[in-house]
Amino acid sequence: MRTEITELLGIQYPIIQGGMAWVAEHHLAAGVSEAGGLGLIGAASAPADWVRQQIREARKKTEKPFGVNIMLMSPYADEVAKVIVEEGVKVVTTGAGSPEKYMEMWKSAGVKVIPVVASVALARRMERTGADAVVAEGSESGGHIGENTTMVLVPQVADAVQIPVIAAGGIADGRGVAAAFMLGAKGVQIGTHFVVTKEAQVHENYKQRILKAKDIDSCVTGRTTGHPVRALRNQMTKEYLRMEKEGTSFEELELLTLGSLRKAVVEGDTVNGSVMAGQIAGMVKEELSCQELIEKLVKETDALIGGAGFYE
Ligand code: TUI
**pLDDT by residue (tens digit) across 84-141?**
999 999 999 999 999 999 999 999 999 999 999 999 999 999 999 999 999 999 999 9
User: Of the residues 140, 144, 153, 240, which should be mutated to test ligand 1's pocket, given the most ligand atoms within 8 Å of the CB?
Assistant: 144
Predicted confidence pLDDT, tens digits, the chain (312 residues): 899 999 999 999 999 999 999 999 999 999 999 999 999 999 999 999 999 999 999 999 999 999 999 999 999 999 999 999 999 999 999 999 999 999 999 999 999 999 999 999 999 999 999 999 999 999 999 999 999 999 999 999 999 999 999 999 999 999 999 999 999 999 999 999 999 999 999 999 999 999 999 999 999 999 998 899 999 999 999 999 999 999 999 888 888 887 899 999 999 999 999 999 999 999 999 999 999 999 999 999 999 999 777 676
Residue 83, domain extent? 4-201+284-305
Question: Which of 256, 142, 254 has its CA nearest to residue 193?
Answer: 142
- Phi, psi (rounded to 5 degrees) for 56: -65, -40
Determine the distance separating the centroid of ligand 1 and the alpha carbon of 309, expressed in angstroms: 33
Whether 290 and 33 have beta carbons less than 8 Å apart is answered as: no
Amino acid symbol at 145: I
Ligand 1 binding site (Cβ under 6 Å of any ligand atom):
21, 44, 71, 73, 95-98, 116, 118, 122, 137, 143-146, 227, 229
The CATH number of whichever domain residue 79 belongs to comes to: 3.20.20.70
Looking at the domain assignment, is residue 208 inside a domain?
A: no
Determine the distance separating the centroid of ligand 1 and the alpha carbon of 308, expressed in angstroms: 34
Looking from the CA of residue 222, the nearest atom of ligand 1 is 11
One domain for residues 21 and 71: yes
Residue 185 per-residue DSSP state: -
Cα separation of 64 and 179, whole Å?
27
Amino acid symbol at 214: K
One domain for residues 123 and 148: yes
